[in-house]
C-alpha cells in the first residue's frame, strides 16, 4: 500500500510539473518569435512524452503485478529462501544459481509466461534489473497472447 501511495504522490507532482511546463510552452509559442516558438513547442512536447512514459511504466507495473498474483495463487513462484548478505541483499552466488535454474526452465519451455516471470525474478536476484525487466515484459506479452 505504501508503494502505491508514493506512486500516486509522484504522479501528482509530475502532473503539476507537466502543467507548468505546458503553460510556459504555450506562452513562449504566443511570442511569435522563432526562438520562442521553437522552445515553446519543445516545452509542450516534453510533458506529452513524459506522460506517455509514466503511463507505460504504470501499465507495466499493473501487468506484472497481475501476472505475479496469478502465478502466486497457482503456487508457481519460487520460494524466497536465497542466502543473503548482512545488508539483506541476495548473495551473488545464490542469485546466479537461481538464474541458471530459471534460464534452463525458459530454454525448456520458451512459450511459458510463468517461466519467463521466474527468470525475471532470478535476474533481479542476480543483480541484473535491466534484463529482469525485459524478461518480465516478455512474460506479460506471452500471457496476453494466450
Residue range 48-57, pLDDT digits in tens: 898 899 999 9
| 115, 106 contact by CB (below 8 A) | yes
Grid cell for residue 66:
497481475
| 90, 83 contact by CB (below 8 A) | yes
> For residue 16, how many other CB atoms are within 10 A of its CB?
10
pTM greater than 0.85 (yes/no)? no
Identify the pLDDT of residue 118: 94
| 42, 25 contact by CB (below 8 A) | yes
Domain boundaries, the chain: 2-73, 92-144
Average pLDDT over residues 117-135: 92
Q: Examine the pLDDT at 146 and tell me if it is beyond 80.
A: no
pLDDT in tens, 59-109: 999 999 999 999 999 999 888 878 788 888 888 888 888 889 999 999 999
Amino acid at each position: 500500500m505504501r508503494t502505491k501511495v508514493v506512486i500516486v504522490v509522484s504522479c501528482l507532482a509530475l502532473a503539476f510539473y507537466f502543467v507548468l511546463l505546458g503553460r510556459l510552452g504555450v506562452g513562449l509559442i504566443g511570442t511569435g518569435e522563432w526562438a520562442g516558438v521553437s522552445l515553446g513547442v519543445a516545452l509542450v512536447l516534453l510533458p506529452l512524452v513524459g506522460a506517455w512514459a509514466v503511463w507505460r511504466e504504470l501499465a507495466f507495473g499493473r501487468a506484472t503485478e497481475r501476472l505475479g498474483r496469478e502465478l502466486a495463487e497457482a503456487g508457481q513462484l519460487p520460494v524466497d529462501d536465497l542466502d543473503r548478505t548482512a545488508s539483506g541483499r541476495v548473495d551473488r552466488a545464490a542469485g546466479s544459481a537461481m538464474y541458471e535454474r530459471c534460464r534452463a526452465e525458459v530454454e525448456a519451455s520458451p512459450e511459458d509466461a510463468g517461466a519467463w516471470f521466474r527468470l525475471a525474478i532470478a535476474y533481479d536476484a542476480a543483480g541484473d534489473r535491466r534484463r529482469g525487466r525485459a524478461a518480465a515484459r516478455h512474460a506479460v506479452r506471452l500471457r496476453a497472447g494466450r
